[in-house]
């Protein structure tokens, strides 16, 4: 079985550098809005039953004038899945439950209901297999078609640079994944979602890593532009109430269906980091 230690470190370093650039861009937006809000960073260590090194991560959180609540987390963890959970993970089994995982995860809930919330994550996991996954999706309480089109266009370009089938496949996957069955509605206006881009050797690692990096770059290019375009718009209390109710749908999806939330809880991750996707204010109508 291939030793992916070097590749895991390479992916981790890039995820951390992406975090630093995203956080700097979000803080710059706060400055443009007359706010001095900055990210606060909290390190955490993953606890293991036998006391071995399980890795950990850094949770970054900012409460600002534009970004009502935004979390940007990077974690690198390792260990063994429980026997019940191992069967649900690509390449893991009760006989061989060990894993490593490194990735970046971001959720931003915005103060202005005209500015869409957003989710982005990219990750590299190894079990008996190794693969990349990730994506980005836009979640507006009040949709503007030009924002939706611009976000999708940037992701489409990132996909097209690597495989002509990626955008159609991964945008469809996002539509299917970010759906709330008990409500019969989508969580947002989509984006892309992909998983299990498997690496058989260093060549396929390099290829899938290059795509994953381009997804991160596409997000960093597209989302701040949308924020700057919408953040100065006035809003009514009715629109803010609509945003809070829409956030309830977001919470329902993340707590009931989201695989990333389940993975974090099942692998002993940091609870605050796992649940950073929850908005600061929410209502259920």
Residues labelled as active-site residues = 119
d(CA 46, CA 75): 10
| Cα dist from 119 to 105, 130, 157, 210, 276, whole Å | 8, 24, 19, 20, 11
> Tokens 């061989």 sit at which residue?
96
d(CA 273, CA 198): 27
Do the Cβ atoms of 179 and 186 come closer than 8 Å?
yes
d(CA 138, CA 142): 11
d(CA 33, CA 41): 22
């Amino acid at each position: 079985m291939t030793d992916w230690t070097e590749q895991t470190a390479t992916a981790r370093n890039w995820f951390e550098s992406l975090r630093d650039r995203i956080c700097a861009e979000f803080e710059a937006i706060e400055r443009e809005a007359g706010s001095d809000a900055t990210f606060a960073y909290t390190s955490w260590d993953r606890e293991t039953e036998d006391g071995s090194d399980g890795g950990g991560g850094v949770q970054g959180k900012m409460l600002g004038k534009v970004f009502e609540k935004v979390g940007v987390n990077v974690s690198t963890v390792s260990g063994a899945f429980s026997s019940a959970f191992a069967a649900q993970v690509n390449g893991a089994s009760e006989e061989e439950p060990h894993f490593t995982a490194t990735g970046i995860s971001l959720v931003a809930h915005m103060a202005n209901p005209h500015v869409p919330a957003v989710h982005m994550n990219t990750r590299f996991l190894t079990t008996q297999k190794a693969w990349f996954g990730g994506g980005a999706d836009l979640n507006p309480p009040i949709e503007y078609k030009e924002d939706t089109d611009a976000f999708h266009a940037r992701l489409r370009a990132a996909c097209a640079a690597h495989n002509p089938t990626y955008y159609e496949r991964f945008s469809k996957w996002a539509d299917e994944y970010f759906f709330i069955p008990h409500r019969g509605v989508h969580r947002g206006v989509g984006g892309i979602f992909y998983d299990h881009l498997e690496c058989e050797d260093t060549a396929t690692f390099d290829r899938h890593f290059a795509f994953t990096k381009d997804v991160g770059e596409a997000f960093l290019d597209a989302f701040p532009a949308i924020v700057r375009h919408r953040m100065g718009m006035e809003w009514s209390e009715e629109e803010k109430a609509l945003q809070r109710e829409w956030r309830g749908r977001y919470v329902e999806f993340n707590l009931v269906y989201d695989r990333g939330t389940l993975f974090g809880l099942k692998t002993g991750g940091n609870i605050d980091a796992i649940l950073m996707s929850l908005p600061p204010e929410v209502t259920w109508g």
